[in-house]
Structure 1
Amino acid sequence: MTIYLAAVNLLTFYLFWSDKQRAKKEKWRIPERTLLGLSLLGGSAGAWFGMKLFHHKTKHKKFYLGIPAILVVQAVILMYVYF
């Protein structure tokens, strides 16, 4: 479980960075459903850090409200499972 969460968070973080770079260069973008989907699959911490560090998707309501909400729910689930 730890390796999975580390991998999905690193991937999500990388995709937020990559999408930001693509946005700057006006290239093909990573679909929002991919970014949100990976967040739902356990990558919410990587998404949150990516949003903050790269200032990416911070004006989109489904991201600035959704990602922290997903992160809180996932943290509660993890605490319930492990404690």
Structure 2
Amino acid sequence: MTNIIIYLCAINIMTFLLYGLDKQKAKRHKWRIPEATLLGVALAGGSIGAFLGMYIFHHKTKKAKFYIGVPMFFVMQAVGIIVIQTRLL
């Protein structure tokens, strides 16, 4: 379980930073991080970092695939963690 916690902390920090970087790049009209990448890291376990990044940086909050997808990813991840944890007990 410790490895899962370390992974989730790392992926969420990385995801949060990616959302902040993409917002900064958007303001400066520079190279952007593809939406598929932002959603992919959220799906890979970074849903909390994505959610925080969306609302702290006010980024991607009006796009349905983000304001619906990211919470949906969180629910899926929470269910997965519960299933894993109950099987480990």
- With the length of structure 1 as denominator, give the TM-score of the two structures: 0.95
- Indicate the residue corresponding to 1:15 in structure 2: 18
- Aligned residue-pair number: 83
Aligned with 1:67 (options 59, 66, 70): 70
Runs of at least 5 residues in structure 2 that lack an aligned partner in the other structure: none
CA RMSD of aligned residues (A): 0.8
Q: Which runs of 4+ in 1 moved over 3 A?
A: none
- Cα distance in 2 for partners of 1:73, 1:41 equals 11
Please state if 1:50 is matched with 2:53. yes
Larger CA Rg, structure 1 vs 2: 2
**Unpaired runs of 5+ in structure 1?**
none
Identity of aligned residues (%): 55
